[in-house]
Amino acid sequence: MGDTEMINAAAPARLFYSEEETAALLGIHRTTLRTLALEGRAPVEPIRLTDHKRVYRRIDVERLAGVVE
């Protein structure tokens, strides 16, 4: 097994991005994303973990950001 295969096997792909990571990928400020999410107008549907913590599905964020098709 090569070095690249070992690295890929050890680190499975993440399924979610944090609010800060999502905002950075979309080119908006974290506070703007949070405000839009609270108003129900976020460009990507958040998943609420707690009253104050939201995550966003990686595939949805990357599609909107143009990273994947």
Residue 61 lies in a domain: yes
Assigned token pair, 4: 């690249």
pTM of the model: 0.77
Q: Is residue 2 part of a domain?
A: no
For 19, other C-beta atoms within 10 Å of its C-beta total 19
Tokens of 67: 């990273």
Task: Answer whether residue 3 is part of any domain.
Answer: no
∠ Cα 20 55 5 (to 5°): 85
pLDDT in tens, 39-65: 999 999 999 999 999 999 999 999 998
d(C-alpha 23, C-alpha 29), whole Å: 6
Residue 54, domain extent = 13-65
Report the number of distinct structural domains present in the chain. 1
Instruction: Confirm whether 4 is domain-assigned.
Output: no
Structural domain contains residue 7: no
Establish if 52 belongs to a structural domain: yes
Q: Residues 6-15: what's their mean pLDDT?
A: 71
Rounded CA gap, 68 and 58, in Å?
10
Q: Pick the more confident residue, 8 or 56.
A: 56
